[in-house]
């Protein structure tokens, strides 16, 4: 039944008969009892609004249906007009009052329905806006990963600064963006990238983890987090990211770069090549160069040449593409291509890595020996620049390489081949020849000749005593060599532990002279930390942790930094950091780093009340390092050889004899189960206290004493209880 609406203009009057209760049948269904109630609807259409209010005699059931219908119609459609959409409020009140007075709903339920209708407009608006968003934006807002315009501006400015090489400035903007949107994957990912650009990989980790958490399907975020984990030595967690990304096709160049970096560091060359062959990177010249270099690194030169030939014509010719073509030509026709390779070598030089691939290509041609003879003639020619000797080593075996160097030096003494020859000497077997060559080289007026002076003072007259070597080097600097960079740096390294103030003075002067050298600044940080190992181990550890990986090169090797950091961790009681560094030292290429790591491992075990794993570790060390151990000048290596009775010769100064005694004591402790610490205590009392072995021994004694005291206290407490 349709009701005729009554205009809402203040002129409506009621029929007195309609005011009564149970005065007649329900106007809709004809049943009773019935009662008169008021109902109202409003519908708005932006530019106009329609509305009506009316009375009707209805039974409870029909009153319920009619009231809910008019309320729902008004709540859904009444608000969308200005200003008369506000009449919806009255409609909700009128219908709600009728439902509360006369319906099948309890009064409380009627009130709840009315309140629910009041929130329908914002809910409807929200739903309309929500479903009008792109799917990606809805997903980002659902997880809290959405960023507003001000966040976008901060990130954009950070990207601009990163592109200009200002990582510190970019980090400031990225941190502001992350503070405004802490759950944003974009902001967290950007902060992590800035930290990595600054070399602070450990600091980048939590932000990279958050980025992956907020965008768990984003290949770039997953790969970047995995790369950081791998760079920090957390291989298990990094491998989980590798598994997540297997067979995933990168959607864009950024994702491809991050995935390639992860697969490269994780040792997954086939996955790396798969990523670099996807359509997303077909037009990216840098990634295609990387693809070619990876194939060459795997000695798949023919495949690399095929890839190069199929690259888009829009990509410009690069050194990587030319290198692939040179290698292919050398593999098939050395006579026609060798002159070009030698010319490039003279003009631009090659890295060791590139030269190893050139040698392999010559061998594949079947004419390797003939090519080698031509290369030797090229090296011995007077017109050949001496710099090419820096990458000539891959052409010669261990016997031929010293011979060809000697031939060159007999004709013309030069710094680069001379220094290369100098490093081949075994100071323990050829000390006299080494000193003679160093003495000649150090008289040359050539910047690289300075490096020979380090050998001269390390192994020359008075080298049986470090004190004598230090005195000789101090006298050398005083006598007119104050500007010798290598000599000043060598002396600073020698004095880092015994005279840290003098070491710092030398380093500060070097940094003042070369302020543009970031590796030198990092080297100063390393040596300053080394001077604090014994007295302030925690400070030294934090200083070393903040050092970017490889930042001190070429002045300190990775093994040196890892060893000093491991020492600081041992003295500071940081077992996790110690274990991480020891693993890297044992797995690394440096023989001396490996042997020193074993001394630290055994000291840590004995300090914790455990017998050292001496026998198994030494057997593995000797098996892996082979003959290289007998020419290693590191005191820790020679001490192990002496303890095993297999040393052929040693070069251990008086100050380092304590290391020999410590290794012997650790060996005996391993055999006896680690109970008797008298020999360790003797080493701990040996001056100078800052030296490697006495400092380790002192920590062992102190921690074992603390363990024993704790054990007595616990036993006494047990008896009292």
pLDDT digits (tens, 9 = 90+) for 60-109: 888 888 888 888 888 877 877 777 667 888 888 898 888 888 888 777 67
* 229 φ/ψ angles, rounded to the nearest 5 degrees: -60, -45
> Does the reported pTM lie above 0.85?
no
216, pLDDT greater than 70: yes
**Helices 149-163 and 167-180 meet at what angle, rounded to 10?**
170
Taking CA atoms, 642 is separated from 241, 339, 443, 628, in Å, by 45, 51, 37, 15
Rg (CA), the chain: 40
640, pLDDT greater than 80: yes
Which tens digits make up the pLDDT trace of 352-379? 899 999 999 999 999 999 999 999 999 9
CA distance 193 to 649: 50
C-beta neighbour count of 538 within 10 angstroms: 14
Locus of tokens 């797995």: 587
For the stretch 291-323, what's the b/e string if a residue is b when 16 or more beta carbons lie within 10 angstroms of its beta carbon? bbbbbbeeeebeebbebbeebeeeeeebebbeb
Please report which confidence band the pLDDT of residue 484 belongs to, taking 50, 70 and 90 as the band edges. confident
CA distance 178 to 184: 7
CA distance 490 to 482: 13
CA distance 259 to 336: 39
Domain ranges across the chain: 16-128, 145-386, 590-721
Fold type of domain 145-386: 1.25.40
Residue 225 confidence (pLDDT):
96
Please report which confidence band the pLDDT of residue 721 belongs to, taking 50, 70 and 90 as the band edges. very low
Please report which confidence band the pLDDT of residue 433 belongs to, taking 50, 70 and 90 as the band edges. confident
* 21 φ/ψ angles, rounded to the nearest 5 degrees: -100, 135
The number of C-alpha atoms within 13 Å of 55 and in the hemisphere containing its C-beta is 14
The number of C-alpha atoms within 13 Å of 713 and in the hemisphere containing its C-beta is 6
Question: Residue 128: is it exposed, middle or buried by C-beta count within 10 angstroms (0-12/13-18/19+)?
Answer: exposed
Return contacts of 270-275, CB within 8 angstroms, 24+ apart.
271/242, 271/245, 271/246, 275/250
CA distance 99 to 255: 60
**To the nearest whole number, what is the mean pLDDT of the chain?**
85
515, pLDDT greater than 90: no
C-beta neighbour count of 279 within 10 angstroms: 8
- Which strand (E) or helix (H) includes residue 325? helix 319-332
What's the rounded mean pLDDT across residues 411-439?
A: 84
The number of C-alpha atoms within 13 Å of 546 and in the hemisphere containing its C-beta is 10
Nearest CA to 699 out of 546, 537, 551 is that of 537
Cβ-contact 263, 277 below 8 angstroms: no
Is the omega angle on the peptide bond into residue 163 within 30 degrees of 0, that is, cis?
no
Please report which confidence band the pLDDT of residue 650 belongs to, taking 50, 70 and 90 as the band edges. confident
Please report which confidence band the pLDDT of residue 128 belongs to, taking 50, 70 and 90 as the band edges. very low
What's the rounded mean pLDDT across residues 552-580?
A: 90
Question: Residue 658: is it exposed, middle or buried by C-beta count within 10 angstroms (0-12/13-18/19+)?
Answer: buried
Three-class HEC string of 470-506: HHHHHHHHHCCCCCCHHHHHHHHHHHCCCCHHHHHHH
Residue 8 confidence (pLDDT):
30
Which residues have C-beta within 8 Å of that of residue 69, sequence separation ≥ 6? Answer: none
Residue 132 confidence (pLDDT):
47
Nearest CA to 701 out of 677, 666, 673 is that of 677
Which tens digits make up the pLDDT trace of 27-37? 888 777 888 89
Residue 464 confidence (pLDDT):
80
Please report which confidence band the pLDDT of residue 222 belongs to, taking 50, 70 and 90 as the band edges. very high
Residue 146 confidence (pLDDT):
54
pLDDT above 70 covers a percentage of the chain that reads: 89
Nearest CA to 594 out of 619, 642, 559 is that of 559
Query: Tokens representing 127?
Result: 């739903």
Cβ-contact 483, 676 below 8 angstroms: no
Locus of tokens 């000390």: 431
* 422 φ/ψ angles, rounded to the nearest 5 degrees: -60, -40
450, pLDDT greater than 80: no
**N-term to C-term CA, the chain:** 91
Residue 11 confidence (pLDDT):
31
């Amino acid at each position: 039944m349709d009701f005729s609406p009554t205009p809402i203009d203040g002129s409506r009057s009621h029929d007195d008969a309609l005011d009564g209760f149970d005065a007649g049948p329900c106007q809709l269904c004809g049943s009773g009892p019935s009662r008169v109630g008021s109902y109202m609807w409003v519908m708005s259409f932006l530019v106009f609004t329609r509305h009506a209010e009316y009375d009707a005699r209805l039974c409870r059931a029909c009153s319920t249906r009619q009231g809910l219908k008019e309320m729902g119609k008004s709540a859904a459609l009444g608000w969308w007009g200005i200003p008369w959409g506000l009449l919806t409020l009255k409609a909700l009140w009128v219908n709600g009052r009728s439902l509360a007075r006369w319906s099948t709903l309890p009064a409380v339920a009627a009130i709840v329905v009315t309140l629910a209708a009041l929130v329908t407009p914002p809910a409807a608006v929200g739903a309309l806006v929500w479903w009008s968003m792109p799917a990606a934006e809805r997903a980002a807002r659902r997880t809290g990963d959405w960023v507003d315009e001000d966040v976008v501006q901060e990130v954009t400015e950070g990207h601009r600064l990163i592109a200009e090489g200002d990582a510190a400035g970019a980090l400031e903007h990225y941190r502001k963006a992350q503070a405004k949107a802490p759950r944003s994957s974009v902001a967290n990912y950007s902060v992590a990238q800035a930290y990595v650009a600054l070399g602070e990989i450990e600091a980048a980790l939590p932000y990279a983890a958050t980025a992956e958490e907020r965008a768990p399907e984003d290949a770039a975020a997953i790969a970047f987090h995995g790369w950081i984990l791998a760079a920090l030595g957390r291989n298990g967690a990094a491998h989980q990211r590798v598994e997540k990304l297997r067979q995933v096709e990168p959607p864009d160049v950024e994702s491809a770069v991050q995935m390639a970096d992860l697969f490269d560091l994780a040792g997954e060359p086939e996955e790396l090549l798969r990523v670099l062959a996807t359509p997303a990177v077909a037009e990216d010249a840098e990634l295609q160069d990387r693809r070619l270099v990876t194939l060459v690194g795997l000695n798949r030169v023919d495949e690399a040449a095929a890839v190069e030939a199929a690259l888009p014509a829009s990509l410009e010719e690069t050194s990587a593409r030319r290198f692939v073509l040179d290698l292919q030509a050398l593999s098939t026709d050395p006579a026609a291509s060798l002159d070009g390779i030698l010319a490039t070598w003279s003009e631009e030089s090659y890295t060791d890595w590139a030269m190893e691939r050139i040698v392999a290509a010559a061998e594949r041609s079947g004419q390797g020996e003939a090519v080698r003879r031509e290369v030797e003639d090229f090296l011995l020619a007077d017109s050949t620049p001496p710099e090419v000797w820096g990458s000539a080593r891959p052409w010669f075996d261990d016997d031929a390489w010293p011979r060809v160097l000697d031939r060159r030096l007999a004709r013309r003494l030069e710094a680069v081949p001379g220094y290369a020859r100098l490093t081949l000497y075994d100071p323990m077997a050829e000390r006299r020849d080494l000193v003679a060559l160093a003495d000649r080289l150090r008289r040359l007026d050539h910047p690289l000749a300075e490096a020979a002076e380090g050998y001269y003072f390390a192994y020359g007259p008075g080298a049986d005593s470090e004190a004598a070597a230090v005195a000789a080097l101090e006298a050398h600097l005083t006598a007119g060599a104050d500007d010798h960079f290598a000599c000043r740096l060598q002396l600073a390294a020698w004095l880092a532990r015994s005279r840290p103030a003098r070491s710092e003075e030398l380093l500060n002067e070097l940094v003042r002279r070369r302020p543009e050298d970031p590796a030198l600044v990092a080297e100063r940080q390393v040596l300053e930390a080394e001077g604090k190992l014994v007295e302030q181990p925690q400070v030294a550890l934090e200083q070393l942790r903040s050092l970017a990986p490889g930042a001190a090169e070429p002045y300190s090797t990775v093994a040196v930094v890892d060893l000093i950091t491991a020492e600081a961790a041992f003295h500071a009681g940081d077992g996790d950091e110690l274990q991480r560094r020891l693993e890297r030292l044992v797995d690394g290429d440096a023989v001396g780093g490996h042997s020193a790591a074993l001394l630290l491992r055994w000291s840590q075990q004995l300090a914790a009340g455990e017998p050292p794993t001496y026998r198994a570790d030494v057997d593995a060390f000797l098996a892996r390092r082979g003959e290289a151990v007998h020419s290693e000048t590191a005191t820790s290596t020679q001490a192990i050889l002496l303890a095993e009775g297999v040393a052929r010769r040693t070069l251990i100064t008086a100050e380092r004899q304590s290391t020999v005694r410590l290794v012997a004591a650790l060996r005996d402790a391993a055999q006896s189960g680690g109970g008797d610490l008298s020999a360790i205590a003797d080493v701990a009392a040996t001056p100078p206290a800052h030296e490697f072995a006495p400092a380790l021994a002192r920590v062992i004694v102190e921690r074992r004493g603390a363990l024993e005291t704790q054990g007595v206290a616990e036993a006494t407490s047990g008896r009292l209880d």
